[in-house]
Structure 1
Amino acid sequence: MTTQNEARTYGNWRQPTSPGIGNLGLGGSAVLLGGILMLVVLLYISMFAAIIGGFALAILLVPMIMRDRHGRNGLQWVTARVAYANGKSKGQHLYRSGPLGRVPLGTCKLPGLAAASTLYEAHDAWGRPFAMVTIPRTNHHTVVLTSNADGASLVDSDQIDTWVAYWGHWLSQLAHEPRLVAASVTVEATPDTGERLRREVFDNIAPDAPELSKSVLNEVVDAYPVGSAQLITRIALTYTGAGGTAIGGRKSVEDMALDLGTRLPGLAAGLQMTGAGPARPLTGEEMAEAIRVAYDPSVAALLDQARTSGGSNLTWDDAGPIAHQENWDHYRHDGAFSITWSMSEAPRGEVQSNILSRLVSPHPDIVRKRVTLLYRPHDAATAAGLVERDRKDALFKAQQKKVIQARDNAAIAASDQSAREEAAGAGLVRFGLLATATVLDKEDLTIAAAAMDNLSAASRLRLRRVYGSQASAFAAALPLGLVLPNHLKVPQQIREAM
């Protein structure tokens, strides 16, 4: 139990590891053992052939042994460089749409992984309209909820602990949600255009109000939005329409919309106890506006003005950028420049509930900042196997060393605790984090990168710039329901074994 003055802490998350010899994963260890057997055979044939084979095995294993501070080996660096150079030689880093572009019918469709996405609109069980984004390649369907989080300012610590507990419970229940494959929470810090305040004030001014009052309100409307910012929270839930023996047959887009429409009210109601506030699904027009502003921040004020006159009528075919250019370390889209980072290591040890507060808060050196937490819940059957395998991997790595280090003991203790909690009914969720910083001038990218380094250090996160895949990472940080492991050319199981 904790006293009133004792702050509650959280932790015991673990990064999946692959059992292997030394720094080699399972795949590298298999290559090493296979290479040794090959050398033994070559020794019976020719000493010269064995020496050549030994050099070839060393050239193959050395890149797999060398690892940077983010845990990536040399083979992953080489393949990333080759893949980016190959795509650039084919012109895949460029995108042009609109009337003079190469997109059919002169539209502005989304680029990259979301190019084939479609938007379907329906109504949920409460009669509210909602949008469903479909990715045909993976047969994934995503609905997005928006909420106005209450925030932790002037809130008792007991209430914050209650919110965190309900949030953990809400995440654990996702493992029992039929057909759900992933979820994400996007917190976007954007500059306030002032149109909402202007509309609220001018719509409520009495015609016979004193001139002094009107002048004061006009001055407030003109001065208040300068330097202010707003936080937008969106929760994306991604479901699969593929068939299976446990979840039924393959479902069409219409069937998925009907099925999700019955679940949305319950999922939205469950978020209220987490401190997220009242949640509602995004409509098709709101979804298109959110993605359009992400690619071109200059249209934010225009869209706010359009809402005051009945709506923007923006469609999904016009939600993408006019042009983009992907570079090795940054991404240019329309008139903005962005850098996206991925989390390579979660905070070590125990943390408090406000560990990410500085990371998601607005920053004066960044025009728009987007932090996305990615979740992939495991069902109960899969979770039991994963925690037991993780426990065995931790023991295997510790037993390889003559002297067991304190970090090895901590890893074993954490894996044991995870196994006990899972056996007691706790859920298992794999999570990650993407952070995107957007500026309007290329010269400001260096300042924005330095600011993100400071913010990640304050949050005890280790972030790695997504070199060579900035466009894909930018799209994955948006509430589009892109599950990146399903879009990799190399299966995730093979990548983890490296």
Structure 2
Amino acid sequence: MTDAAQSQFTVRFGRRPRRGLLLGLSAFRVACIACAAATFVPMMFVAGAPGAAASSPLWLTFLVLAFARWGGQPAAELAPTAGHFLFRKARGQTRYRARPDRPRPAGTLALPGDAASLRLHIDEESGAAMLHDPHAQTLTAVALVRHPAYVLLSPEEQARRVHGWGRALAGLSATGTCARVQVLEVSLPDSGRGITGWWDAHGVKDPRQWAVREYEELMRTCAPAASTHRTLIAISLDLRKARRHIRQAGRGMAGAAAFLRQEMTSLEAGLRAADLQLTGWLDEPELAATLRAAYDPVVDREDLGTCALSTAGPVAVDEHWDYLRHDTGFSAVLWVSEWPRVAVPPFFLHALVFQQGIRKTLSLTLEPVSAEAALRDIRKAKVEYATDAAQKAKLGTIADLSDSVERDDVLERERALISGHADIRFTGMLAITAATRDGLEAAVAEISRAAIQSGCETRRLYGRQARAFAAASLPLARRVSA
């Protein structure tokens, strides 16, 4: 038992950097403190204490913005988001309504916000539906992946599959043309009709057998709380970095699709090494059904039939400060702000993914970083840590242990890069959907508790729920700004 525990493969995440412009304070907080000082000091010299008291509402407001926290982050850092949200709300950009009298142009997607600029391209050779973003200059394809029960495998087999998945990501990073990879784990509440229906049709109805009685009792207690899981992987090609390869493949969108097929083949080989079964690349009806089901949770994917991307978007969307109202559902998006900082097994997200009775989507967006850019970022971080330590020593401020931990994480990252490993930025988001607002708040509370059990910390993304929902619940491999 002791040997098995010692051989358990574990992983550890680095602490999220909290570097700032001055003494760990961000630029917005430093600006607020400077504005407070620029208000208080002149009034103190000109009018004395009465003048400072008269101007106290102004400089106290700046200090509150600098040091008060709201929603897990300083109020000064949330102020730009609040201003942008109020500006969009005043211009009516937080509401979306489909217009049946104005059909979408051919080849476009009926999605709200900046996702409406996406263009559809059908690859004739593979049949996959590829999405072209003319602004970000990316081309994206989505794959459906099946995998066995990972938790039931032996520690050695788990470590082997983790290593295989890591090599698959490293292979995509080495090409330098992959913009990002998105992994979506969609969990849908299931009534258990598939399990009970199979038992009714093929089961042995002999109550004298102990196994039959136990199996029927298990179905009565667990089948109603079952969930259906669906895993999607979206790979996005950077058309700017792949310009030379596209010219060699035939130029234009056809050349970009041909080169993306090569990246798709490389991903398939990497998935096989990790014992992940790629069922197929989504065509237009399958991708349209996925998008439609995300905005309309009541609809059954099997009833969508030959749905087209031009009509697969929502009918109505209302964006609020902390949630999104769309068609037949309410949704809220959480950002995984901290990952486990202690050694955890690879299946540490089990309690979060298999939370019963909640419709949710876990999105992991992985963005490869070139070795040159990663080393440049590491050098910048080392300089900032050294400067911050010198400033604290000069002012007599006690250094925090978290500073040394973050510095050690940067050095460990540098050692990994020098050893030949790929550097990847990853962002985790959770999109939770419910039929009512009260049900949504209850589901968010449950998911937050499950995240704590998994060793993660989550924050609700205020003021940007519409864009966050498109990034977290749709397999579009969009850039995430958390």
TM-score (norm 1): 0.79
Task: Rate the CA distance shift 1:55–1:423 in 2: closer, same or farther, 3 A.
Answer: farther
| 1:336 counterpart residue number | 329
Work out whether residues 178 and 247 of structure 1, in 8 Å CA contact, stay in contact via their aligned partners in 2. no
Aligned counterpart, 1:387: 378
**Matched letter for residue 440 of structure 2:** L
Residue in structure 1 matched with residue 80 of structure 2 by the alignment: 79
Comparing 181-190 and 251-260, the one that deviates more: 251-260
Cα distance, 1:66 vs. partner? Answer: 2.1
For 2:428 and 2:318, locate their aligned partners in 1 and report how far apart those are by CA, in whole Å: 24
**TM-aligned CA deviation for residue 394 of structure 1:** 3.1
Q: C-alpha distance in 2, partners of 1:415/1:195?
A: 50
Alignment pair present for 1:321 and 2:314: yes
1:424-446 deviations in Å (ceiling 9; x for gaps):
11221111111011111222122
Instruction: Determine the structure 1 residue equivalent to 2:156.
Output: 158
2 CA distance for matches of 1:201 and 1:116? 48
Q: Could you tell me which of 343, 348, 369 is aligned with 2:341? A: 348
Gaps of 5+ in 1: 206-211, 213-218, 307-311, 486-491, 493-498
Q: Could you tell me how far apart the structure 2 residues matched to 1:201 and 1:317 are?
A: 40
| Alpha carbons of structure 1 residues 409 and 258: separation in structure 2 relative to 1, 3 Å | same
Report the AA paired with residue 231 of structure 1. Answer: H
Alpha-carbon spacing, 1:418–1:3, altered in 2? closer, same or farther (3 Å): farther
Distance in 2, matches of 1:280 and 1:435, equals 25
Question: Shift of the alpha carbon at 1:262?
Answer: 2.4
Match of 1:68 in 2: 69
CA displacement at 1:474 relative to structure 2? 0.6
SS in 1 for 2:277: coil
Amino acid across the alignment from 1:292: R
Question: Larger deviation: 469-478 or 24-33?
Answer: 24-33
Aligned to 1:231: 229
Q: Which residue of 1 aligns with 2:440?
A: 445
How many angstroms apart in 1 are the aligned matches of 2:163 and 2:24?
Answer: 37
List per-residue Cα deviations over 1:69-93 (Å, max 9, x = no partner): 8763323322222222222222212
Q: Distance in 2 between matches of 1:431 and 1:351?
A: 18
- Mapped partners of 1:321, 1:305: distance in 2: 16
Q: Is the 8 A contact 1:328 1:468 kept in 2?
A: yes
Give the counterpart letter for 1:185 in structure 2: V
CA RMSD of aligned residues (A): 4.1
Q: Distance in 2 between matches of 1:57 and 1:421?
A: 49
With over 3 angstroms needed to count, the CA separation of the structure-2 counterparts of 1:421 and 1:163, relative to structure 1, is: same
Tell me if the contact between 1:130 and 1:281 (Cα under 8 Å) persists in the aligned partners. yes
* Cα shift readout 1:395-424 (whole Å, capped 9, x = no counterpart): 333442544333233222222222112111
Aligned to 2:117, what secondary structure does the other structure show?
Answer: coil
Task: Give the Cα separation in 2 of the matches to 1:326 and 1:416.
Answer: 42
Look up the match of 2:465: 470
2:256 corresponds to: 256
Letter in 2 for 1:171: L
Change (3 A) 1:35 1:169: farther
CA contact under 8 A between 1:20 and 1:26: conserved in structure 2? yes
Q: Work out whether 1:265 is the aligned partner of 2:265.
A: yes
Find the partner of 2:132 among 128, 131, 134.
Answer: 134
Pick from 179, 182, 188 the counterpart of residue 181 of structure 1. Answer: 179
Contact 1:139–1:240 (CA<8 Å) still a contact in 2? Answer: yes
**Structure 1 position 480 matched with structure 2 position 476:** yes
Instruction: Supply the distance in 1 between the matched residues of 2:421 and 2:229 (Cα, whole angstroms).
Output: 31
In the alignment, the residues of structure 2 paired with residue 408 and residue 79 of structure 1 have an alpha-carbon distance, to the nearest angstrom, of: 27
The aligned runs of 1:270-309 (5 Å cut-off) are 270-300=270-300, 303-305=301-303
Structure 1 partner of 2:367: 376
Distance in 2 (alpha carbons) for counterparts of 1:105 and 1:282? 22
Corresponding letter in the other structure for 2:82 = R
Residues of 2 paired with 1:105 and 1:383: CA distance?
41
Matched pairs, number? 454
Deviation of 1:349 after TM superposition, in Å, equals 2.8
Pick aligned residue for 1:411 from 372, 385, 406? 406
The question of whether the paired residues in 2 share the 8 Å contact of 1:456 and 1:463 is answered with yes
Give the 3-state SS of the residue equivalent to 1:80 in structure 2.
helix
CA distance in structure 1 between the aligned counterparts of 2:343 and 2:47, rounded to whole angstroms:
54
* 1:141–1:481 contact (8 Å) kept in structure 2: no
**What is the CA–CA distance in structure 2 between the aligned matches of 1:411 and 1:69, rounded to whole Å?**
24
Consecutive unaligned residues of structure 2, counting only runs of 5 or more, are 207-215
User: CA 1:383 to 1:336, structure 2 compared with 1: closer, same or farther past 3 Å?
Assistant: same
Q: 1:34 to 1:457 in 2, by over 3 A?
A: closer
Aligned pair 1:122/2:113, yes or no? no
Check whether the contact 1:378–1:428 (CA below 8 A) recurs between aligned residues.
yes
Which amino acid in the other structure matches residue 73 of structure 1?
Answer: P
1:22-47, Cα deviation, whole Å (9 max, x unpaired)? 242357668989999x99xx99xx96
Q: Is the 8 A contact 1:142 1:236 kept in 2?
A: yes
Q: Structure 1 422/69 Cα, relative in aligned 2: closer, same or farther at 3 Å?
A: farther
Look up the equivalent residue of 1:120 and give its one-letter code.
H
CA distance in structure 2 between the partners assigned to 1:465 and 1:426 by the alignment: 32
Alignment partner of 2:341: what SS?
A: coil
Equivalent position of 1:460 in the other structure: 455
Q: Percent identity?
A: 24
Q: Secondary structure in 2 aligned to 1:332?
A: strand
SS of the equivalent of 1:264 reads: helix
Q: Which is further off, 77-86 or 377-386?
A: 77-86
Q: 1:171 to 1:243 in 2, by over 3 A?
A: closer
Of 82-91 and 468-477, more deviation after overlay is shown by 82-91
1:170 deviates by 2.1
Between stretches 393-402 and 351-360, larger displacement belongs to 393-402
Query: Residues 294 and 394 (structure 1 numbering): CA distance in 2 closer, same or farther, change over 3 Å?
Result: same
Say if 1:345 and 1:462, in contact at 8 Å, map to a contact too.
yes
Cα deviation 1:330-371 (Å, max 9, x = unaligned): 11111111111112222223222121111111422x2x1101
1:16–1:390 Cα contact (<8 Å) kept:
no
Residue in 1 that maps onto 2:213: none
CA-CA distance at 1:192 after TM superposition = 4.0
Structure 2 equivalent of residue 488 of structure 1: none
Write out per-residue CA displacement over residues 86-109 of structure 1, whole angstroms, 9 at most, x where no aligned residue: 222222121111526x66589981
Q: CA deviation at 1:167?
A: 1.9
Stretch deviating more after TM superposition (390-399 or 182-191)? 390-399
Structure 1 position 194, deviation (Å): 7.3
Q: 1:330 to 1:261 in 2, by over 3 A?
A: same
> TM-score, with normalisation over the residues of structure 2?
0.81
